[in-house]
Amino acid sequence: MRVIGIDPGLRNLGWGVIESEGSRLTHIANGLCCSEGKDLAVRLLSLHDQLTAVMVEYAPQAAAVEQTFVNRDGAGTLKLGQARGIAMLVPAQAGLPVGEYAPNAVKKAIVGVGHAEKHQIAHMIGLHFPGVKVAGADAADALAIAITHAHHLQSGNRLQAAIARAS
């Protein structure tokens, strides 16, 4: 199954695509969608267009987005929420269900600690996919989100198979 992970951001929206076969994960691609323009609506449109192109090129079968955390800057949180809306809208337009994961859940799944730093996530992504050039911290986070979702889907599939066998 091909999974896209998306780390929403208004300036830089990170994305990462992996392939999951059983317990084997393969890196497909990663990158950043960088918003263009000064007007908020234009910036959101540019993120939408770029992420749509990524979806068309890599044709994922599942998608996951990091949940927004609330910080002290209300206006910044609202703008991040709007970028997150784009990150959820584009996969939904492609007919994909969208998984959502709290930042601490992703960090715990990848690093083993819920309050890991960005450089720790990037390090673990390097261990998962040796030799892969990651476009930046936001792309590394997106790959971490994709890995978390792939593991979640595998667990769900195993549970359903066990329930079917027990029936």
Rounded CA gap, 4 and 89, in Å?
Answer: 13
Q: Of residues 7, 21, 39, 141, which has the active-site annotation?
A: 7
Q: Of residues 49, 100, 117, 138, which has the active-site annotation?
A: 138
Q: Is 7 a catalytic residue?
A: yes
Rg (CA), the chain: 16
Contact (Cβ atoms closer than 8 angstroms) between residue 142 and residue 7: yes
- What single-letter DSSP state applies at residue 84? H
Q: What token pair was written down for 10?
A: 């208004």
Q: Is 73 a catalytic residue?
A: no
Q: Of residues 66, 100, 117, 141, which has the active-site annotation?
A: 66
Interhelix angle 118-128/103-110, nearest 10 degrees: 50
**Of 34, 37, 66, residue with least CA distance to 51:** 34
Q: Which residues are catalytic?
A: 7, 66, 138
